[in-house]
Amino acid sequence: MGLTKSIQEQPLNEPQSWVKPLTRIPSSLKPLVATQKKHYGDVLHPTRWWGRMPFLFWLVALFVGFLERKRARLTPVMRALLMTRVSQVCHCAFCVDANSLRLAERCGALDKVLQVAAWQESTLFSEEERVALAYADAVTATPPRVDEALKAQMKLHFSEDAITEMTALIAFQNLSARFNAALDIPSQGLCDTFKGRPHA
């Protein structure tokens, strides 16, 4: 009774995890927090766990920042598509939410977001996207299962530089999703805010 009451009294948007989130974020992370608030209107949930390791969190932010740079070898839509798929495979509620919003923003619609989970049966994805999604599934498997047929398909559609960068992107999203999923970091309702305005 007491436990049920305490859970019900908690705000709906408050993270629920078996490891307590920080209530005060280190001042060294202020630039990251300011960016999050500007784009999302709030501090993103994972920051309250990564904040226990500020230096490492900066390295993670720099890693994803490089992968999301303007001259990246993968298009913004492709990056968001792969990150959304890996999030689904890893059962990361927060990542599915955040990356679905990113994909919707970059496509200007929710159509692809709603089809990612069943991409094998969907007609919305190009051949290049389908090969990349298959690669994301294969790399995310434990251990990775990248067979010769898939390697050949990848080389038909992507340069070796693009394949290497794609592998780094998928590996990064695995790190992020597995961190969040293991700590039970919940979604934040981010995709619910999508207004149908495409941007990179």
pLDDT for the residue 195 = 67
How confident is the prediction for the chain on average, in pLDDT?
Answer: 91
105 pLDDT above the threshold of 80: yes
pLDDT for the residue 192 = 84
Token output for 109? 């619609």
| Digit-coded pLDDT (tens) for 77-95 | 999 999 999 999 999 999 9
pLDDT for the residue 193 = 76
Q: Is 176 exposed, middle or buried (0-12, 13-18, 19+ CB in 10 A)?
A: buried
Distance, CA of 16 to CA of 26 (rounded, Å): 21
Q: Is 166 exposed, middle or buried (0-12, 13-18, 19+ CB in 10 A)?
A: buried
Identify the DSSP state of 118: G
pLDDT for the residue 4 = 29
Identify the DSSP state of 86: H
CA distances from 23 to 20, 75, 170 (A): 9, 36, 30
pLDDT for the residue 6 = 29
Identify the DSSP state of 29: G
Distance, CA of 19 to CA of 17 (rounded, Å): 5
Question: Of 40-49, 103-112, 185-194, which gets the smallest average pLDDT?
Answer: 185-194
Q: What is the mean pLDDT of residues 35-47?
A: 95
Ramachandran area for residue 185 (φ above 0: left; ψ -120 to 50: alpha; else beta): beta
pLDDT for the residue 9 = 31
Q: Could you count the other beta carbons within 10 Å of the beta carbon of residue 198?
A: 12
Radius of gyration (Cα) for the chain, nearest Å?
18
pLDDT for the residue 196 = 62
| Digit-coded pLDDT (tens) for 91-100 | 999 999 999 9
Q: What is the mean pLDDT of residues 15-19?
A: 81
pLDDT for the residue 2 = 36
Consecutive H or E run containing 88: helix 76-89
Are 166 and 173 in contact, with CB atoms under 8 Å apart?
A: no
Token output for 33? 């927090």
Q: How far apart are the first and last CA of the chain?
A: 48
